[in-house]
Amino acid sequence: MKEEFVIEIVGTQGYFDDDGSIADSDRISINTLGTFVRKGDKWWISYREMDESGEHSGSHLSGLKIDEKSLTMWKTENSTRLILEPGQEHMCAYETPFGPLTLGIIADKLEVNFDENGGECSCKYILINNGSLMSENTVTVKVKPYCPGSGITPPVRKKGKRKQ
């Protein structure tokens, strides 16, 4: 995988109280190098996952497939696949440390603005668990060409012993 683009993914999640108001929120941010290519009418982004220490795990690839109508996020380390398509409800098997969890996902708005030099997309969506509103979420993906000296370090490939 030739990593030529800086990939920044920011997600927010607002949790609901019993009365339906947002009680708490979280924000997560990933800033790494990856690939960004156009295939037909879809943009494909892939990058290596990081472990809890912030090191690139090397073998776990994550990615996004984006077009004007939908955004799909996936991970090769497990079966997690999240499909965001405004106006459509999708079911998602989400892997947790305690086992798989099936969630309903309804996207509200998807904005895509990419060209060969990168760009940005964002989506607003809700998660539903057992018919109850679980959280209100946003995801923003920004892509720009990698420039040495940008503060992003290419992942270090760890050499390990091969199993014989």
For range 127-155, the mean pLDDT: 84
CB 25 within 8 A of CB 13: yes
CATH number at residue 22: 2.40.128.20
| Rounded-to-10 torsion of CA 42, 43, 47, 52 | -80
Q: How far lies 37's CA from each of 2, 21, 144, in Å?
A: 11, 40, 12
pLDDT score, position 11: 93
Residue 161 covered by a domain: no
Residue 113 contacts by C-beta under 8 Å, 6 or more apart in sequence?
Answer: 119, 120, 121
Residue 74 covered by a domain: yes
Residue 110 covered by a domain: yes
Residue 152 covered by a domain: no
pLDDT score, position 160: 41
Digit-coded pLDDT (tens) for 106-134: 999 999 999 999 999 999 999 998 888 88
The model carries a pTM of 0.81
Please count the structural domains in the chain: 1
Residue 158 covered by a domain: no
Residue 140 contacts by C-beta under 8 Å, 6 or more apart in sequence?
Answer: 9, 10, 11, 120, 121, 122
Structure tokens at 54: 């912030």
Q: Pick the closest to residue 76 from 54, 104, 46 (CA basis).
A: 46
Residue 80 covered by a domain: yes
What's the chain's average pLDDT?
Answer: 83
Residue 13 covered by a domain: yes
Residue 154 covered by a domain: no
Q: Is the pLDDT of residue 58 over 60?
A: no
Q: How far from the centroid of its chain's Cα atoms is residue 59's Cα? A: 17
Residue-number span of the structural domain to which 128 is assigned: 5-145
